[in-house]
Amino acid sequence: MIEVILSRRLKWLTLLRVLFVSLLFGATVLFNLDDGTSLLRYTSHIVLYYITTVTFTVSFVYLILLRILKDERSLVRLTYFQVVGDVVLSAALVAITGGTDSVFTFFFSLVIFYAAIILYRRGALLTATASTPLFLAIGLSEMGVLPESLQLTEGLDGLPGAPDMADGAVQAEVIEELQSRILQSRIYNLVVNIVAFYSIAMLASYLAEQVRRESEGHRQTRHSLEDLQALHRNIVQSLRSGLVTISLDGKISFFNAEIEALSAERKGDLRGADVRDVFPALRHILGNPDKHELLTTEVTTQMIEGRSTLL
């Protein structure tokens, strides 16, 4: 049962991933058709092209593995593998779409959220821990801490409303101020997002754990009820006396094998039939108002066709 649920969730996850990347790539192509430039002209577009190709290929492999893997342990391992892949995918999308200011930073949180649903607290915390260094590396790269990163002063001359940079002192002062503001903004983005990663992991995993406990409780209750019903059925069917239960309007709701044997000449299922039609000898008992008021507590023995039957 668990394997079936996990396999179904992984299939939906794979399809949603493919749909998301397809929409992203399609939107990029559509918005770049108007300027007459090639999609492969910019480095970010090239990276997005490769991301889309790899995602499609890996998702196809996932679907094949889901048809092969049947045991729970293998499916859990495949889930962890997908989660790690999605964390890397999130980092790549964030890196090529604006860094720590990217609108796709929510994708990290989305991966953490579904990891909590499928893998519960351990999976959510591991996903948050895997997301943190990647997001941190993107931020440090923007700030020039890591090698071969973009410098903070790049493109400052082209900022709208920037003052005349002819004066060297003014230029240095403006650049220093902009550097300070950008640095503060990126540090703020790093701290807020990393805190959000672990907050989402804790909250989502808590809710997922609560749902899992309730589901397990319901499953145990259902199994206990099924066992009780089976025990009741075996006990009742083993009785040598006929046993039938009826509703307040005289309709048969349950009967055992002895009752079925007594009414062997009647064709069709007895369930739902009027007991007075099946056993006419009971009409005078059910028609007695004094007895009718005590039907829920009185046990009556009546000879039907020469046999003693418990009512």
Look at strands 307-310 and 252-255 and give their pairing: unpaired
3-state class of 254 per DSSP? strand
Q: Which domain holds residue 112?
A: 2-150+190-227
pLDDT tens digits, one per residue of 3-39: 777 788 888 888 888 888 888 777 766 765 555 444 4
Residue 7: the pLDDT is 82
Residue 157: the pLDDT is 43
- Asked whether residue 298 falls in the same domain as residue 269, the answer is yes
- Tell me, yes or no, whether 157 lies in a domain: no
| Separation CA 300–CA 244 (nearest Å) | 12
pLDDT tens digits, one per residue of 251-306: 887 777 777 666 655 555 677 788 777 777 777 777 666 655 554 444 455 545 55
Q: What is the pTM of this model?
A: 0.62
252: DSSP letter:
E
- Asked whether residue 12 falls in the same domain as residue 66, the answer is yes
Residue 150: the pLDDT is 40
Q: Give 131's pLDDT tier (boundaries 50, 70, 90).
A: very high
**Residue 88 half-sphere exposure, CB side, CA atoms within 13 Å?**
11
| Arithmetic mean of pLDDT, 172-185 | 76
Q: Which of 46, 20, 53, 50 minimizes the C-alpha distance to 32?
A: 46
**Residue 127 half-sphere exposure, CB side, CA atoms within 13 Å?**
37
pLDDT tens digits, one per residue of 210-260: 888 887 777 778 778 877 777 777 776 676 677 777 777 778 877 777 776
Residues linked to residue 138 through DSSP beta bridges, in sequence order: none
Residue 21: the pLDDT is 83
User: Pick from 227, 256, 283: which residue ends a domain?
Assistant: 227
Q: 115 Cβ partners below 8 Å, 6+ apart? A: 83, 123, 124, 126, 127, 201
Q: 295 Cβ partners below 8 Å, 6+ apart? A: 286
> In whole angstroms, how far apart are CA 206 and each of 11, 123, 227?
24, 12, 31
Number of domains in the chain: 2
- Asked whether residue 121 falls in the same domain as residue 268, the answer is no
Q: 277 Cβ partners below 8 Å, 6+ apart? A: none
